[in-house]
């Protein structure tokens, strides 16, 4: 059976009102979804991912990171600021230098899950 075809969308929706309602109930609030997207946005840059993976093993200063990754000090500093803003890294100051490290286990877990997804795709498709 078919419902009215309003200008607002397809006729199918009405048939699945229950499913749609259930989905709406389970959806996190819009603001939370924005924050979640902002978090992943921080992971979504090769330079920042490199920095995070470099910090997987040990804390490093800005200059070490720059040399290690073949980046300028400025670029690293800018990205560290972003990472710090997202609470993905913590830092301590020691004299002239600033040492950065991963903030917590979430960062490792998120990177690990992402890596699993990427490498599984590679294993499947060549």
Partner DNA sequence: TTATCATATGAACAGATGAACATATGATTG
Partner DNA sequence: CAATCATATGTTCATCTGTTCATATGATAA
Binders in 72-91 for DNA, by CB under 7 A: 72-75, 77-82, 91
Count of positions on this chain that bind a copy of itself (CB under 8 A): 72
As a residue count, the chain comes to 126
Phi, then psi, of 60 in degrees rounded to 5: -140, 155
Confirm or reject binding of residue 22 to a copy of itself (CB under 8 A): yes
Identify residues 96-125 at the interface with a copy of itself (CB under 8 A). Answer: 97, 104, 106-107, 109-111, 113-122
CA gap 84, 77 in Å, rounded: 10
Window 84-123: residues binding DNA (CB under 7 A):
91, 93, 95-98
Residue 61 CB, nearest distance to a copy of itself (Å)?
A: 6
Residues 6+ apart with CB under 8 A from 111: 43, 49, 52, 53, 56
């Amino acid at each position: 059976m078919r419902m009215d075809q309003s200008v607002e969308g397809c006729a199918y929706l009405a048939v699945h009102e229950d499913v749609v309602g259930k989905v709406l109930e389970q959806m996190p609030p819009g603001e939370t979804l924005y924050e979640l997207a902002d978090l992943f946005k921080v992971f979504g840059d090769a330079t920042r991912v490199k920095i995070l993976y470099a910090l997987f093993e040990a804390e490093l200063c800005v200059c070490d990171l720059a040399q290690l990754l073949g980046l300028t000090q400025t670029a690293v500093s800018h990205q560290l600021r972003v990472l710090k803003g997202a609470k993905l890294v913590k830092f301590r100051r020691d004299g002239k230098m600033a040492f950065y490290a991963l903030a917590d286990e979430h960062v490792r877990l998120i990177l690990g899950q992402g890596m699993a997804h990427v490498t599984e795709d590679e294993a499947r498709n060549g």
